[in-house]
Structure 1
Amino acid sequence: MKGIVFTEFLELVGRNYGVEMMDFIIEASDLPSGGAYTAVGSYDHGEMITLVQNLSTATRVPVPELLRAYGQHLFARFSVRYPRFFDGITSCFEFLDRIEGHIHVEVRKLYPDAELPSIDIDWRTEDRIELFYSSTRPFAAFAEGLMRGAIAHFGEAIEVRQLDAAADGTFIRFELTRS
């Protein structure tokens, strides 16, 4: 995983739970990287899993809830850090339509070694969209958080319904409906 995912996570932990908690989960995690991340570096996704699990244990907040909250946070940060990915896009559905064919293409140009998940649109109408997230990593709840971050970013009233999911968090199917 790209280091920006780690640096932003630790920033969120520090802001929401304090620097002491951030230090605690890094020390408790016994990470190969030692918890020293750079935004452009690449790190094993297992380190993120360990960090989130240790934060969950310390805060008693379930892992999926932490991952969803982090996904929402990260989407907001991406909109600030990478404004060109949002140029000309006026809705959440329009943004979701562009992930595979445009945004992931651009991300691969910036980070050729990035291992990105797949976001496939199964069908779409003016007011409904069904999408399928799949990855080799167990971050379906994180993907849901990113999607909810997109909804918040575009200020839309959209209901999110989970249709199907793998117990291991490697895939999930959503239906989004404008209300």
Structure 2
Amino acid sequence: MKGIVFTEFLEMVEAKFGDEMVDKIIDDAALPSDGVYTAIGTYDHQELLSLVALLSEYTQLPIPQLVEKFGHQLFGQFLAGYPGFFSGINSALDFLANVENYIHVEVLKLYPDAELPTFEYDRSIPGALVIVYRSTRPFASLALGLIKGCIEHFGEEIELEAEDLSFGKGTAMKFTLVKQG
């Protein structure tokens, strides 16, 4: 997993829970990397899972809720760091429908070793988008947060439903987005 995800996660923890919490989860997780991440490095996703599990334990917040909030924040960082991805796109549905065939292609140019989730799309219903997310990693809640961040960015009224397709594993989810009004 790319280091930018780790660095952004730790920034979120610091902003919401303080420096001491960052130090505590890093120390207690006993990570192979010692919790030292660079944005361009690549790290085992299990380290992030360990950090999130400890944060959940210490804050008493459910893991999916923490990961979703992180995804929401991460969208803002992607927006700031990669404005070209948003150029000429005026709606959340149009942006999200381009993740697999445009954004992931560009990400792989920057990070050829990145292991990305896959997205399948259905736009057969006017004003709606169905996305099926699949990953080998349990980050469907992260995708949910990213989608919510995208909707907020575009300022649209969109009804969002999420259906777990992985029996609680967090590796597959169906998102149904319907534009309101």
Q: Which moved more, 1:156-165 or 1:8-17?
A: 156-165
CA distance in 2, matches of 1:45, 1:70: 15
Q: What residue in structure 1 maps to residue 61 of structure 2? A: 61
Q: Deviations over 1:22-65 (max 9, x none)?
A: 11010111100000000000000000100000000000000000
Q: What residue in structure 2 maps to residue 99 of structure 1? A: 99
Q: Report deviation, 1:124.
A: 4.1
Q: Report deviation, 1:175.
A: 0.7
Q: Report deviation, 1:127.
A: 1.4
CA distance in 2, matches of 1:173, 1:163: 5
CA distance in 1, matches of 2:164, 2:32: 34
Unaligned ranges ≥5, structure 1 = none
Residue-pair matches, total:
179
Q: What residue in structure 2 maps to residue 157 of structure 1? A: 157
Q: Deviations over 1:56-83 (max 9, x none)?
A: 0000000000010000000011000010
CA distance in 2, matches of 1:22, 1:125: 44
Q: 1:172 aligned to 2:176? A: no
Q: What residue in structure 1 maps to residue 48 of structure 2? A: 48
Q: What residue in structure 2 maps to residue 29 of structure 1? A: 29
Q: What residue in structure 2 maps to residue 112 of structure 1? A: 112
| TM-score when normalising by structure 1 | 0.97
CA distance in 1, matches of 2:160, 2:77: 21
The percentage of counterpart residues that share the same residue type is 50
Unaligned ranges ≥5, structure 2 = none
SS across alignment from 2:89:
coil
Q: Deviations over 1:94-133 (max 9, x none)?
A: 1011111110000000001000000111334331111100
Q: Which moved more, 1:120-129 or 1:109-118?
A: 120-129
Please provide the CA RMSD for this pair: 0.9
